[in-house]
Amino acid sequence: MSIKEIQDEIVDEFSMFDDSTSEKLEYLVDLGKSLPALDEKYKTDDYLIRGCQSDLWLNAELLDGKVVFTASAAAMIPRGIIALLIRVFSNQTPKDILDDDTAKFIERAKLNNFFQMTRSNGLEKMIKQIKLYALAFNVKKK
């Protein structure tokens, strides 16, 4: 599935909720609960995303030309947010990740509309780190 197709699915899922923040946050918590456990060796400062409201670790590997992300977070909402982003970007090529207009997806899904400023900053940091991993893998390929 392409990044755009996955994003469209997520936008549709979020449109089922009314504008109530609590329903959307509950959905994110459920996503966070479904996130597979991250190997403890990645729960170090090298994988920590700075600027998130809680500790959040993100790892990426390039397997068969596609980036595979794994992550964990100490708090459930950031865990849900990173689970959502992993759903979008994992198993995609570095080029496709870099070419994606993620800000447009965030706007379409109305993700920034219900986050406090600190969580919005964390979301931006998560996306930035995902794009940095993709950039590193894209440069390595050349």
Q: What's the CATH code of the domain at 24?
A: 3.90.1010.10
> Residues 72-95: what's their mean pLDDT?
94
pLDDT confidence tier of residue 70, bands split at 50, 70 and 90? very high
Give the count of domains, the chain.
1
Helical pair 117-141 and 76-89, crossing angle rounded to 10 deg? 30
Tell whether the model's pLDDT for residue 118 goes beyond 60: no
Number of H helices, E strands in the chain: 6, 2
What's the distance, CA 81 to chain centroid?
6
- The domain in which residue 71 lies consists of 3-141
- pTM for this structure? 0.90
CB 106 within 8 A of CB 14: no
Q: What is the dihedral of CA 48, 33, 105, 111, to 10 degrees?
A: -90
